[in-house]
Amino acid sequence: MGNDPVNESAESLQKRFADVLDGGQIEIRADGFPLLDLHEPALVLMPKNAEQLSETLRCASASKTPIIPTGLGTALRLGNLPTADSVFLSTRLMNGIVDYEPRDLTVIAQAGLPIETLQKTAAEEKQRLALDPPNAGSLGGLIAMDASGPLRDAYGSTRDLCLGVRAALADGTLVKGGGRVVKNAAGYDVTRLLIGSFGTLGVVYEAAFRLHPMPVKTAEVSAAFESWSGAFETAANLARSELEPEWLAVLRQDEESAPTAAVGFGGHPETVEYQTKRAEAIMSKGKPTALETKADSEPTRLQMRGRLNGALNDASRMTCRVFAPMSAFADIVQAAERLRPSTWQIRFLSGVGYAVFDNPSAETVHALRDETAAREGSVVIESASVEIKREADVWGPPTGPLSVMRRVKLKLDPDRLLNRGRFLKGLDDE
Amino acid sequence: MDAERIANELAAVLGSENVVRDPVSLMTYESDGVTLYKAMPHAVVFPTTTDEVAAAVRIANNAGVPFTARGAGTGLSGGAIAAEGGVIIALNKMNRILELDIENRCAVVEPGVVNLWISDAAEPHGFHYAPDPSSQKACTIGGNVAENSGGPHTLKRGVTVNHVTGLEWVMPDGEIVEFGGKSAECVGYDLRGLAIGSEGTLGIATKIVVKLTPNPQTHKTLLAVFDSMQNASQTVSETIASGMIPASLEMMDRLIIGAVEEAFQFGFPEDAEAALLIELDGLEAGMEAQAERIAEICRKNKAQSVQVARSEEERQLLWKSRKQAFGALGRIAKDYLTQDGVVPRTRLPETVKEVYRVSEKYGIPIANVFHAGDGNIHPVLLFDQSDPEQVKTVLEASGEIMRACVEVGGVITGEHGIGVEKIEFMRLLFSEDDLNLMTSLRDVFNPNGLCNPGKIIPDDEPSQWGMTL
Is B171 within 8 Å of B163 (Cβ atoms)?
Answer: no
Query: What are B47-86's pLDDT values in tens digits?
Result: 999 999 999 999 999 999 999 999 999 999 999 999 988 9
Mean pLDDT in residue range B196-218? 98
Mean pLDDT in residue range B351-366? 97
Residues paired with A176 in a beta bridge: A166
pLDDT band at A39 (very low <50, low <70, confident <90, very high): low
Rounded Cα distance between A35 and A75, Å, is: 10
Query: What are A408-418's pLDDT values in tens digits?
Result: 999 999 999 99
**A107: nearest CA partner in chain B:** B344
Sign of CA dihedral B9, B10, B14, B17: negative
Interface A-B, measured as beta-carbon pairs within 8 A, has a size of: 261
Rounded Cα distance between A338 and A336, Å, is: 5
Mean pLDDT in residue range A361-366? 97
Residue B286 predicted with pLDDT over 60: yes
Rounded Cα distance between A182 and A101, Å, is: 13
Contact between chains at A183 and B179 (C-beta distance less than 8 A): no
Contact between chains at A273 and B285 (C-beta distance less than 8 A): yes
Residue A3 predicted with pLDDT over 50: no
Interchain CB contact of A300 with B (< 8 Å): no
Sequence-distant (≥ 6) Cβ neighbours of residue A166 within 8 angstroms = A50, A174, A175, A176, A204, A205, A206, A207
Contact between chains at B243 and A169 (C-beta distance less than 8 A): no
Residue B118 predicted with pLDDT over 90: yes
| CA distance to partner chain B, nearest, from residue A181 (Å) | 5
Q: Considering CB atoms only, which of B184, B189, B414 is closest to A197? A: B189
Bridge-based pairing state of the strands A352-357 and A341-347: antiparallel
DSSP annotation string for A168-210: EETTS-EEEEE-SSS---SS--HHHHHTTSTTSSEEEEEEEEE
**A162: nearest CA partner in chain B:** B162
pLDDT band at A113 (very low <50, low <70, confident <90, very high): very high
Contact between chains at A185 and B430 (C-beta distance less than 8 A): no
Q: Considering CB atoms only, which of B286, B375, B416 is closest to A268? A: B286
Rounded Cα distance between A130 and B13, Å, is: 51
Q: Considering CB atoms only, which of A106, A271, A377 is closest to B283? A: A271
Name residues 131-170 of chain A within 8 A of B (Cβ). Answer: 146, 156-157, 159-160, 169
Interchain CB contact of B245 with A (< 8 Å): yes
Sequence-distant (≥ 6) Cβ neighbours of residue B253 within 8 angstroms = B229, B273, B274, B352, B367, B368, B369
Residue B240 predicted with pLDDT over 80: yes
Contact between chains at A175 and B433 (C-beta distance less than 8 A): yes
Rounded Cα distance between A334 and A96, Å, is: 46
Q: Considering CB atoms only, which of A105, A188, A270 is closest to B441? A: A188
Residue A37 predicted with pLDDT over 90: no
Mean pLDDT in residue range B111-126? 98
Interchain CB contact of A22 with B (< 8 Å): no
Query: What are B418-457's pLDDT values in tens digits?
Result: 999 999 999 999 999 999 999 999 999 999 999 999 999 9
Contact between chains at B187 and A271 (C-beta distance less than 8 A): no
Percent of chain A residues topping a pLDDT of 90: 87
pLDDT of residue A4: 45
Mean pLDDT in residue range B182-195? 96
Residue B379 predicted with pLDDT over 90: yes
Interchain CB contact of A193 with B (< 8 Å): yes
Is A359 within 8 Å of A319 (Cβ atoms)?
Answer: no
Query: What are B155-169's pLDDT values in tens digits?
Result: 999 999 999 999 999
Residues on chain B touching A195 (C-beta within 8 angstroms):
190, 193
Higher-confidence residue of B107 and A35: namely: B107
pLDDT of residue B461: 86
Interface test with A, best of B106, B185, B288 (most A CBs within 10 A): B185
Is B139 within 8 Å of B146 (Cβ atoms)?
Answer: no
Other C-beta atoms closer than 10 Å to the C-beta of B244 total 18
Closest CA to B456 of B148, B85, B113, B30: B148
Name residues 427-466 of chain B within 8 A of A (Cβ). Answer: 429-431, 433-434, 436-438, 440-445, 456-457
Is B410 within 8 Å of B25 (Cβ atoms)?
Answer: no
Interchain CB contact of A235 with B (< 8 Å): no
pLDDT band at A8 (very low <50, low <70, confident <90, very high): low
Sequence-distant (≥ 6) Cβ neighbours of residue B234 within 8 angstroms = B301, B349
Q: Check residue A216 and report its DSSP letter.
A: S
Name residues 164-183 of chain A within 8 A of B (Cβ). Answer: 169, 173-177, 179-183
Contact between chains at B180 and A399 (C-beta distance less than 8 A): yes
CA distances from B96 to A97, B47, B116, B123, B138 (A): 48, 13, 13, 17, 15
Which long-range CB contacts under 8 A does A345-348 form with residues at least 24 apart?
A345/A249, A345/A251, A345/A304, A345/A307, A345/A308, A346/A249, A346/A250, A346/A251, A347/A148, A347/A149, A347/A150, A347/A152, A347/A153, A347/A247, A347/A248, A347/A249, A348/A153, A348/A235, A348/A236, A348/A239, A348/A248, A348/A249, A348/A250
pLDDT band at A2 (very low <50, low <70, confident <90, very high): very low
Interchain CB contact of B198 with A (< 8 Å): yes
pLDDT band at B257 (very low <50, low <70, confident <90, very high): very high
Rounded Cα distance between B92 and A165, Å, is: 36
Q: Considering CB atoms only, which of B177, B179, B345 is closest to A104? A: B345
Is B75 within 8 Å of B33 (Cβ atoms)?
Answer: yes
| CA distance to partner chain B, nearest, from residue A128 (Å) | 11
Average pLDDT value for chain B? 95
Contact between chains at A182 and B342 (C-beta distance less than 8 A): yes
Sequence-distant (≥ 6) Cβ neighbours of residue B273 within 8 angstroms = B226, B227, B228, B229, B232, B253, B254
Interchain CB contact of B240 with A (< 8 Å): yes
Rounded Cα distance between B32 and A298, Å, is: 51
Residue B381 predicted with pLDDT over 50: yes
Residue A9 predicted with pLDDT over 90: no
Contact between chains at A189 and B161 (C-beta distance less than 8 A): yes
pLDDT of residue A62: 95
Contact between chains at A156 and B184 (C-beta distance less than 8 A): yes
Is B158 within 8 Å of B144 (Cβ atoms)?
Answer: no
pLDDT band at A263 (very low <50, low <70, confident <90, very high): very high
| CA distance to partner chain B, nearest, from residue A179 (Å) | 7
Is B70 within 8 Å of B88 (Cβ atoms)?
Answer: yes
Other C-beta atoms closer than 10 Å to the C-beta of A51 total 13
Name residues 311-340 of chain B within 8 A of A (Cβ). Answer: 340
Rounded Cα distance between B430 and B105, Å, is: 37
The angle that helices A329-336 and A228-240 make with each other, rounded to 10 degrees, is 170
Residue B3 predicted with pLDDT over 80: no
pLDDT of residue B224: 97
Three-class SS of residue A52?
helix
pLDDT of residue B465: 87
Name residues 262-291 of chain A within 8 A of B (Cβ). Answer: 267-271, 273-275
Residue A31 predicted with pLDDT over 80: no
Query: What are A136-166's pLDDT values in tens digits?
Result: 799 999 999 999 999 999 999 999 999 999 9
pLDDT band at A5 (very low <50, low <70, confident <90, very high): very low
pLDDT band at A14 (very low <50, low <70, confident <90, very high): confident
Interchain CB contact of B343 with A (< 8 Å): yes
pLDDT band at B180 (very low <50, low <70, confident <90, very high): very high
| CA distance to partner chain B, nearest, from residue A224 (Å) | 23
Higher-confidence residue of A198 and A23: namely: A198
pLDDT of residue A317: 96
Closest CA to A340 of A321, A368, A372: A368
Residue A48 backbone zone (phi > 0: left; psi -120 to 50: alpha; other: beta): alpha
Residues on chain A touching B458 (C-beta within 8 angstroms):
none
Residue B106 predicted with pLDDT over 60: yes
Rounded Cα distance between A188 and B441, Å, is: 9
Residues on chain A touching B404 (C-beta within 8 angstroms):
none
Is B273 within 8 Å of B266 (Cβ atoms)?
Answer: no
Is B346 within 8 Å of A104 (Cβ atoms)?
Answer: yes
Is B370 within 8 Å of B250 (Cβ atoms)?
Answer: yes
Interchain CB contact of B192 with A (< 8 Å): yes
Average pLDDT value for chain A? 94
Three-class SS of residue A68?
strand
Sign of CA dihedral B235, B237, B238, B242: positive
Bridge-based pairing state of the strands B335-338 and B379-383: antiparallel
Percent of chain A residues topping a pLDDT of 70: 96
